[in-house]
Chain A
Amino acid sequence: MKKLFAILLAAVMLLSVAAVNAEDAHQLIYGSTTEISGDFAPDAWWTNNATDKMLRDFTTDYGTVVTDQGGALVINDTTCENIEGEMNEDGTKTYTVVLNEGLVFNNGEPITIKDFVWPTAFSCSAVSSEVGAKLTGYMTIVGGQEYYDGTASTISGLRMLDDKTIQVTVVADKVPYFFDLSYAGFTPFSMKYWLGEGVDIADDGEGVYFKGLTKDAIEEQLNFARFHAGEDRITAGPYNLVEFDQASKQATLVKNEYYQGNFEGQIPSIEKIIITKAEDATWADALKTGAFNFYDTITDGTQVNTAMDLIEDDENVDKLGYGYDFVQFDRPGYGKLMFHSDFGPTQFINVRHAIAHLLDRNEFANTFCNGWGGIVNGPYGTAMWMYQEGEEWLDENLDNYAYNPEKAVELLVEDGWVYDEKGNDYVEGIRYKKVTPEEAGTYAHNVTLEDGTILMPLIIEWASSEGNSVSDLLSVMLANGEQTAAAGVKINQNVMSFAELLNYMYRDATQGDKYGVPTYCMYNLASNFTPLYDQAYSFTLDPKLVADGYNSDFIFDEELDKLSMDMVYGVEAGDDDAYLEIWQNFIQRWNYLLPEVPLYSNIYVSVFPDWLEGYDQSSYWDFAQAILYADIVE
């Protein structure tokens, strides 16, 4: 046994000595919570994995329209000489984009106008669907639908006027649109690399069209381009994806020497970035030992506190040779309680208000986020420019539904929840309300008295997803809270998988008849907002769109629907004041109707090594964008 033990120890020592450390003393190693899937296609053509997207962002730039640090759309001066938009008499809108000359890919080859135009033209081709790409450009560009259907041989609304001028005409029903500058967005991808040598695009004066584009002609090259990483991967971003090791799920990015800068002309200083996978159970130890030294967007309050402990751990600084720093920013979204506002007790606005008053949201947010979060009173994030411009207005005009069980009872009494199950005056237990047959609907708990009176009990059927700590806290603070029972409200928690919760939430009968029947009044989940705040159709009254999953709150309010549509389709691009005014009215209306109760909005934290200087991240300015401005100091 002694011999065996000695051999084992010797083997361990040998391995420890043989193992070679990373080449550079200060190497940025990014621990990603999402695994790299390895699909590096242009934009989310096939997948929408967060880390794949980040790698895509690192290797892709020179878009003609990009978002800035605040998430606003801006023209990329590095790429464009000029972008002009003009309304046409038929209601369509034409953008003319004039490109700068001299841009090159990472192999030194010049970027041509065709490299800018082909992805948009491809989105108008039926071949894109044949290869499984999720593209809908043909629905936006004049002539796109005809080209897609095969009834036209060119895309009449997409033109290459000369070697540096692109013209795109947008269909009438998509303009005016507050974010319509996005229609003039063209990002270059090497056509040769993505589609192969045999495919070309041309414009003979009647619109752009493909030559030689078929599924068979491009599929092999397209799949190679999607999944390939290496020195020969042709891209045009600040970094080159030189390696992706499938076995270790590790990617290596190296600075693109040909890169001419982002929209502000900024080029990166850091030579190399490694992306590796972080695990929930061991991320703190991995940071502690330097297995990776950048941990992005910690969302959980407990984890944030662990990170703070690590940052203050001087002993570890001695062991590791460096310490950690952090940056914090607000989540562009919130966790929420969502109601179905068209059936059961939650169809009544007073019930929704009462539930909000029965939950101490400040305490909830503080407990759930461990001090790293707060609350909002509407569908917005505190990082949005609209919030920052109108914070005072929002404070003055929105109801914050403070914890107030007495107020909740008042609201319920005012709304007619004043009976017991026999129709007598309410004394204790669950409250009931006399409802019409229309209001009663299919709600399972209704009671019909001998005289035909229908009583609806104040029982809220709540669908909550399994293994969810928000649900656990809600159960304690709301569903099983003494104040809830005292108010005569009963909340039944129904735990299910998230997929099933979505089926009920969308009332998706295609997944089974039971899902098509309104069953649950309340759901808990979360929402995040993209920089382009567009709530159009989210509160639609159109039954067809509702059936397709829009207006999942099932709140049918003409004013809310109109405001949500006008906000983006009733305002000219650039008219920020008009947009802000409608946005505020929309938020106020939403806050009054309360289709959802915002529960918490986290403060996110990213941890990075103290030798990284100039790093500043925000809600709409992520790692791939912010790192260009950072530098490594020895």
Chain B
Amino acid sequence: MGKYILKRCGYIVVVFLILSFLMYALYNLIPSDPARQELEPMRQSLKADEYETLYRQTRQRMGLDDPLVVRYLRWMGLWKDTDGTFNGVVQGNFGYSNLYKRSVIEVIKAPMGNTIFINIFSTILSLGITIPLGIYCAVHKGKRFDSATQVITMLGYSIPVYIIALVFMFFFCVLWRIFPIMGTKTPGMTYANKWQEFVDMLYHIALPVIVMTFGSLGGMTRYVRSSMIEALSMDYIRTARAKGLKEKVVIYSHAWRNALLPVITSILGWFLSIFSGSVIIENTFSLNGMGKLYWQGLNNLDFELVLAIQMFYSIVSLVGSLLIDISYGLVDPRVRVDK
């Protein structure tokens, strides 16, 4: 097992290097001039000679006149930077955001915190609802409740999340005024303690979490349901029932444990997705999260920021797939994870 994990870690490094170079090259193919972009808003207030000098300095500072490979190696920290030092990914510097004028790590901190905070609640709530609901529907397959659940979950699955967000916003915020319409903090609020701050944030993210949960109910409920239906039709279930075991024991100890195998991939995927923000939800509810940051980075051609976010997600996804493979072995003794 240890050898297998080491081998997979080696693959991760190789994939990361190839992917990072491809991404870096792709972004540099986009026809834009970061130096000009930075100075364009100041153009009117600068005299011609001043603009020219600043443009030259900015290009030099950004190292834009060097070949692509040099710039990539510099970004990786394997080539000397314009100030003569090695200062890249290898040294822990994941780049500099031209939009925010600070290191990418500093820019990402707050949005990442918000995204994780929101996604934890959304994931727990979604799994807390969908797993029991899926099991209940599978056990009561074809009954009125099952049919109704199928319709409702299909609705949540089919309607785009921005529609759900706007509809929920209209009812909960504009019409009934139960939840705040945007942000993560009551404007002008001074908190007496951390608990008050926590409650205020919870209050603000309640509606986005409800929307995210509603939007994700369909997929997982149907997945759990179909997996359970398949498990319940197995011979060993009939045997368990013939042995006179209680129905609860049959469902949760025999059927659910076996139904868990395909479901676990999705569940792990969900937990890994707590790092990724929703562009639509965060923009609609004005939440400062990773999705919104990524969107802004792309819109403003802030490539080092976007690249850092993408490389982070690449690592999360590579590590995630390793964890999923390992977890198969742990959950199902029939699967041997050593090759």
CB proximity of A146 to chain B, nearest CB, Å: 15
Interface size on B, residues (CB 8 A): 69
Partner of A246, one of B110, B179, B202: B110
Interface size on A, residues (CB 8 A): 73
Check if A47 sits within 8 Å of B48, measured CB to CB: no
Known: A24-B188, A282-B181. A512 touches B284 (CB 8 A): no
User: Who on chain B is nearest to A248 by CB?
Assistant: B185
Q: Is the interface of B mostly helix, strand, loop or mixed?
A: helix
Residue A540 is within 8 A (CB to CB) of chain B in the complex: yes
Check if A18 sits within 8 Å of B183, measured CB to CB: no
Contact with A along B102-115 (1 / 0, CB 8 A): 10000001100110
Check if A248 sits within 8 Å of B100, measured CB to CB: no
User: Who on chain B is nearest to A16 by CB?
Assistant: B178
Q: Total A-B pairs in contact (CB under 8 Å)?
A: 186
CB proximity of B42 to chain A, nearest CB, Å: 6
Check if A245 sits within 8 Å of B185, measured CB to CB: yes
Residues of B close to A427: CB separation below 8 A: none
CB proximity of B322 to chain A, nearest CB, Å: 31
Residue A129 is within 8 A (CB to CB) of chain B in the complex: yes
Residues of A close to B53: CB separation below 8 A: 136, 139
Check if B101 sits within 8 Å of A12, measured CB to CB: no
Partner of B200, one of A20, A47, A279, A502: A20
Known: A249-B288, A499-B37, A503-B33. A537 touches B183 (CB 8 A): no
Known: A16-B203, A279-B283, A500-B31. A252 touches B296 (CB 8 A): no
Check if A47 sits within 8 Å of B44, measured CB to CB: no
Check if B101 sits within 8 Å of A39, measured CB to CB: yes
CB proximity of A181 to chain B, nearest CB, Å: 15
CA distance A285 to B113 in the complex (A): 27
| Interface pick from A90-98, A394-402, A544-552 | A544-552
Known: A282-B182, A510-B33. A288 touches B206 (CB 8 A): no
Check if B189 sits within 8 Å of A23, measured CB to CB: yes
| Interface pick from A72-80, A194-202, A269-277, A383-391 | A269-277
User: Who on chain A is nearest to B128 by CB?
Assistant: A4
User: Who on chain B is nearest to A132 by CB?
Assistant: B61
Partner of B188, one of A23, A227, A497: A23
Contact with B along A590-634 (1 / 0, CB 8 A): 000000000000000000000000000000000000000000000
Check if A37 sits within 8 Å of B100, measured CB to CB: yes
CB proximity of A560 to chain B, nearest CB, Å: 16
Residue A328 is within 8 A (CB to CB) of chain B in the complex: no
CA distance A506 to B174 in the complex (A): 47
Q: Among residues 36 to 60 in chain A, which have CB atoms less than 8 Å away from a CB atom of chain B?
A: 37-39, 44, 46-48
Known: A22-B186, A22-B188. A247 touches B47 (CB 8 A): no
Q: Among residues 29 to 85 in chain B, which have CB atoms less than 8 Å away from a CB atom of chain A?
A: 30-33, 36-55, 57-58, 61
Residue A153 is within 8 A (CB to CB) of chain B in the complex: no
User: Who on chain A is nearest to B51 by CB?
Assistant: A548
Residue B255 is within 8 A (CB to CB) of chain A in the complex: no
User: Who on chain B is nearest to A289 by CB?
Assistant: B181
Residue B166 is within 8 A (CB to CB) of chain A in the complex: yes
Residue A515 is within 8 A (CB to CB) of chain B in the complex: yes
Residues of A close to B42: CB separation below 8 A: 44, 48, 134
Check if B296 sits within 8 Å of A4, measured CB to CB: no
Residue A151 is within 8 A (CB to CB) of chain B in the complex: no
Check if B48 sits within 8 Å of A540, measured CB to CB: yes
Check if B101 sits within 8 Å of A46, measured CB to CB: yes
Residues of B close to A281: CB separation below 8 A: 166, 283-284
Partner of B47, one of A18, A503, A537: A537
CA distance A532 to B284 in the complex (A): 38
User: Who on chain B is nearest to A14 by CB?
Assistant: B199
CA distance A476 to B310 in the complex (A): 39
Residue B219 is within 8 A (CB to CB) of chain A in the complex: no
Known: A274-B188, A279-B283. A247 touches B110 (CB 8 A): yes
Q: Among residues 483 to 516 in chain A, which have CB atoms less than 8 Å away from a CB atom of chain B?
A: 497, 499-500, 502-503, 506, 508, 510-512, 515
Residue A424 is within 8 A (CB to CB) of chain B in the complex: no
Partner of B190, one of A23, A249, A286: A23
Residue B173 is within 8 A (CB to CB) of chain A in the complex: yes
CA distance A279 to B181 in the complex (A): 11
Q: Among residues 90 to 124 in chain B, which have CB atoms less than 8 Å away from a CB atom of chain A?
A: 99-102, 109-110, 113-114
Check if A136 sits within 8 Å of B54, measured CB to CB: yes
Check if A29 sits within 8 Å of B284, measured CB to CB: no
Check if A499 sits within 8 Å of B31, measured CB to CB: yes
Residue A6 is within 8 A (CB to CB) of chain B in the complex: no
Residues of B close to A272: CB separation below 8 A: 188
User: Who on chain A is nearest to B100 by CB?
Assistant: A37
Residues of A close to B320: CB separation below 8 A: none
CA distance A174 to B46 in the complex (A): 12
CA distance A520 to B174 in the complex (A): 48
Check if A291 sits within 8 Å of B180, measured CB to CB: yes
CA distance A39 to B107 in the complex (A): 12
Residue B7 is within 8 A (CB to CB) of chain A in the complex: no
User: Who on chain B is nearest to A292 by CB?
Assistant: B187
Q: Among residues 9 to 25 in chain B, which have CB atoms less than 8 Å away from a CB atom of chain A?
A: none
Residues of A close to B186: CB separation below 8 A: 19-22
CB proximity of B31 to chain A, nearest CB, Å: 5
User: Who on chain B is nearest to A278 by CB?
Assistant: B286
Check if B180 sits within 8 Å of A499, measured CB to CB: no
Q: Chain A: residues with CB nearer than 8 A to chain B? A: 4, 12, 15-16, 18-24, 27, 29, 35, 37-39, 44, 46-48, 129, 132, 134, 136, 139, 174, 223, 227, 245-250, 252, 272, 274, 276-279, 281-282, 285-286, 288-289, 291-292, 319, 497, 499-500, 502-503, 506, 508, 510-512, 515, 529-530, 532, 534, 536-537, 540, 545, 548-550
CB-defined A-B contacts under 8 Å, sample of 27: A18-B200, A18-B203, A19-B200, A20-B196, A22-B187, A23-B189, A29-B188, A46-B101, A132-B61, A134-B54, A245-B185, A250-B183, A250-B187, A252-B188, A279-B182, A279-B284, A279-B285, A281-B283, A281-B284, A285-B170, A285-B173, A291-B180, A511-B32, A532-B45, A537-B48, A545-B48, A548-B51
Identify 14 new A-B residue pairs, CB closer than 8 A, beyond the known A22-B187, A134-B38, A250-B185: A22-B188, A22-B189, A38-B100, A47-B101, A139-B47, A248-B184, A249-B288, A281-B284, A291-B187, A497-B31, A500-B32, A530-B44, A548-B52, A549-B43
